Amino acid sequence: MGRTAIVCDTTGYLPRELLDENSITQVSLYVSLDGHEEREAEIEDYAEFYERLRTSDEAVTTSQPSVGDLISAWEPLLEAGDQIVSIHLSASISGTYEAAVQARERLVKEDRGGECVRVVDSRSGGGGLGLVVLAAARAAGAGADPEAVVERAGATREALKMWFAIDTLEYLRRGGRIGAARALLGSTLKIKPILTLEEEITPVERVRTRRRAFERLIEYARERHADGADAWVVQHIQDPEAARHLVEECRQVFDSEPVFVSEVGPVIGAHVGPGLLGVGGVPKSLLDGAG
């Protein structure tokens, strides 16, 4: 019997070394700007993309992998005799999960091993999705069967909290993915929203300055630490200096190194815009393979 293989989409923005180390297979989403569609996995120059996003007058669009993309990622694993747990961006903001369900159903109908695929809605994205995927991969690497891996993914999602500050709601408004944060639109104040992703993008609070937003993220990190969530991550968009500063502060809060630090790529970045800074975490025990 083969192993339990983990597949995810690109919107967790896990560093390449973690993907390789944990044998995680990725399926790319797509982003289209100024009429040019690209696979997110093939965009290497984020700075160039975000510069185009800033200056473009056209609406940017993003789309899920096709059913064929997902099957192409799964087939080599199924041929190797593996069971698959495929974990994806929240179904409330993307069609990726539904595409994966359809891909599995097609394989079942065609008697091509679909029964060996479990599809999981992470109900998250960005660093939250990354942590759920990593927890599942560590459990799989320790020999857990598919049901136990799915259970670990679910437990990690339940324990997860991730907050992010953005410079403006404009990109969310343009992209239509604003969710419950719509309540913040129309404010006469120049605000710096702090949001979370609880299946959909949800407002946490509004502050007046970027400095105050940074301070609040550190306070949220302290809350995570107090709650026993000592495996933490930091993400940013086009602001590595602020990310480094946040890591320095959070290192003192958690007395440990981050699980990973990464830049959010074009698919989610298209909807939140440059300047995002985020922090979150889960209990470390969920990332211990045999935990």
pLDDT at 141: 97
In eight-state DSSP terms, residue 237 is S
| Percentage of the chain exceeding pLDDT 70 | 93
pLDDT at 200: 81
SS3 content of the chain, % helix, strand, coil (to 5): 45, 25, 30
pLDDT at 177: 52
Pairing state between β 277-282 and 161-165:
antiparallel
Domain 161-287: assigned CATH number: 3.30.1180.10
Pick from 6, 14, 52: which is nearest to 33 by CA? 52
Residue with tokens 């259970």: 151
> Tokens for 213?
């937003």
pLDDT digits (tens, 9 = 90+) for 221-239: 999 999 999 999 999 999 9
Domain 4-28+64-158: assigned CATH number: 3.40.50.10170
pLDDT digits (tens, 9 = 90+) for 156-209: 999 999 999 998 877 877 755 555 445 455 454 567 889 988 888 888 888 889
Residues 6+ apart with CB under 8 A from 154: 120
Instruction: Considering only residues 60 and 135, tell me which one the structure prediction assigns the higher pLDDT.
Output: 135
pLDDT at 176: 57
Instruction: Considering only residues 191 and 64, tell me which one the structure prediction assigns the higher pLDDT.
Output: 64
pLDDT at 227: 96
pLDDT at 180: 45
pLDDT at 100 over 90: yes
pLDDT at 16 over 90: yes
pLDDT digits (tens, 9 = 90+) for 120-159: 999 999 999 999 999 999 999 999 999 999 999 999 999 9
Angstrom distance (rounded) from CA 50 to CA 276: 12
Angstrom distance (rounded) from CA 223 to CA 227: 6
Where are the domains positioned within the chain?
Answer: 4-28+64-158, 161-287
pLDDT digits (tens, 9 = 90+) for 236-284: 999 999 999 999 999 999 999 999 999 999 999 998 899 999 999 999 9
